[in-house]
Structure 1
Amino acid sequence: MLKKLAKLEPAPPWSYLNALTAFIGMVIAVMLIGATVALTLFGDETPSTLIVGWSIGMLLTVIFVMGSYSRRDDWVAAMRIAPTRARLPIIGLFAFGMAVLFDLIGWLIVNEQTLSSAELIRYATSETDITVFGWLIAAVFLLILQPIGEELVLRGVMYPSMRAALGAWLGFAAVAAFHALFHFAVYTPPGDNQTILIWYGLLLPFLDGLLLTGIRAYTGSTRAAIIAHVGINIFILIKAITFAM
């Protein structure tokens, strides 16, 4: 298993600077462009408005990456987004199970079982009921846009270039760290509870980043990482809806 994780792929035809540009572009799209458009459309910052903004930003990210990296066959091949022999349903179930395990760890650390992720903390703590539209847009974001957008950038573009530039294990850790950094910057948990901030804002995303990067390394497939991300987010959504009822 460790040999598979340590195996280096051929260096991609783009540099780590291109990868960093894609990462910064994702941050700008989600934090600035998407948020600005959502506030302009809805006028106030509600939990649902934030999800709409993040969804717009992720959609722009997908368009940017696919438009920039799908023009050449060798770039598409290096992103590893083609169909894979990996057993995607099993990978999704495995990721779902790991999300349950991480949640149990979080329960012990935070001592608050109603929370599921930084993205949906505002849903859990909202003083008003979340509308059907709010849950629908959350589902679209968590099950479609976020997995595709984040995995294209982090595991599709950054993963091969960071490992080529930094080596197998340091590059592996760097991708997981960028995953955590993005989540901490964009989906920062609200409130003054430092334990919640550190766990849901930084440590849990880093664990998720390690898991998703490990799946990308083991399977050699960004598509597998997307399915794993969906598996994690299915648990997040189910838990959030359960405690909201």
Structure 2
Amino acid sequence: MLRSAILRIRQGEARPVLWRWPLPFWITVSYLVAMLTALLMVTTWREDDLMNPDATSILLAGIIGGLLALWLAIRNIQAALIDAETTSKQRQDDLTVSRLLALEESRTRPLWIVWLMALATIILIDALALVAGKPASNLPIGLDRIDSAAWETWFLALILFAGVRPITEELIFRGILYPALARWLDNNLLAALATAALFTIFYLLQVLNADLGWTTIYWGFIYPLTLGLTASLARAHTKSTWAAVGSHVMFGLFLVLSAMVTFA
């Protein structure tokens, strides 16, 4: 079974990679800049403390920054497609932005099975972390200060963790970065592992100012590494970025439900 899964992961991608190598990294950096800029704008607008914002400010900034990064990513892929058509001097009728990003049906397992497997994975990892001593109240930035918040804040949390963040981050890391790495390394499995590692670093950078503890260990390393491996391997196995998006949504839904149980 494992051998069969690895063989499917190593099968070639169905779509070409039209963008140049620096693009994935430029979009990732733009995503970080967009989130920081959005946080500055939101805290200024709400007269909140930039260094210690409340849950609403963090969630709003995450949504705004994520949507901006998503727009930038799609615009760049559209530009890459136009450049390819200009260079070849013929219209690529079989290529669209969604196809280039592998937003298609799974070529192996049904997507709902992949998503349920992702949900089982985060439940198992969270349970193991709790057994190891992680406090149940230790939640990711944004959800960690949502206690006693109005229902609107919970709605923002659901939009961010189960909507904007999964779509934006998976299109960047699994839709754009992964196929570029797969072409460069000429090995889908190594590309999936490398994408997961870079995804973990991306999350680690967001908690560097936190004290060394469960916030850094779990939310800066264990959680993003688990999510990164799950989404990357799902993308490589199914050849569908929807597999990664759905897996990320399952992780996000679990986080929001965990916060609801914690602060109930």
Shared fold (TM-score, shorter chain, > 0.5):
yes
- Structure 2: any 5+ residue segments left out of the alignment? 82-94
Query: How far did 1:217 drift?
Result: 0.6
RMSD between superposed Cα atoms in Å: 2.1
Counterparts of 2:260 and 2:209 in 1: how far apart (Å)? Answer: 19
Kindly provide the amino acid, as one letter, of the partner of residue 229 in structure 2: L
Query: 1:160-184, CA deviations, whole angstroms, 9 ceiling, x for partnerless residues?
Result: 0012112423322221012112212
> 1:120 maps to which residue?
143
Q: Tell me the residue number matched to 1:100.
A: 123
Q: Aligned residue for 1:4?
A: 8
Kept in 2: contact 1:142–1:230 (CA 8 A): yes
Partner of 1:175: 195
How far the C-alpha of 1:80 sits from its partner, in A, is: 0.2
Question: In the alignment, which residue of structure 2 is the partner of 1:79?
Answer: 101
Deviates more, 1:60-69 or 1:85-94: 85-94
Query: 1:75 Cα deviation (Å)?
Result: 5.3
2:26 aligned to which of 9, 13, 21: 21
Whose helix proportion is higher, 1 or 2?
A: 1
Aligned to 1:131: 150
Q: Secondary structure at the match of 1:228?
A: helix
Q: Secondary structure at the match of 2:104?
A: coil
**SS across alignment from 1:218:** helix
Question: What residue is the counterpart of 1:219 in the other structure?
Answer: 238
Aligned twin of 1:91? 114
Q: Secondary structure at the match of 2:19?
A: coil
Alpha-carbon offset, residue 189 of structure 1 = 7.8
Cα drift, residue 116 of structure 1: 4.4
CA distance in 1, matches of 2:12, 2:142: 33
Instruction: Answer 1 or 2: higher relative contact order, Cα 8 Å, separation at least 6.
Output: 1
Is the CA contact 1:110–1:196 (under 8 Å) kept in the aligned structure 2?
Answer: no
- Using a 3 Å threshold, how does the CA distance of structure 1 residues 118 and 207 change in structure 2: closer, same or farther? farther
Give 1:185 shift. Answer: 1.9
Q: What's 2:37 paired with?
A: 33
Amino-acid identity (%): 22
Displacement of 1:191 in angstroms is: 4.8
Match of 2:134 in 1: 111
State which drifts further: 233-242 or 191-200. 191-200
Of structures 1 and 2, the larger Rg is shown by 2
TM-score normalised according to structure 2 size: 0.82
Q: Which runs of 5+ in 1 are unaligned?
A: none
Count of equivalent residues:
239
Task: Tell me, in whole angstroms, the C-alpha distance in 1 between the residues paired with 2:100 and 2:142.
Answer: 30
Per-residue CA distance 1:34-61 (angstroms, 9 max, x = gap): 2122112212111221111111000101
Q: Render the CA deviation track for 1:42-98: whole Å, top value 9, x for unaligned.
A: 121112211111110001011111222135336542310134465233222221111
* 1:2–1:222 Cα change, 3 Å: same
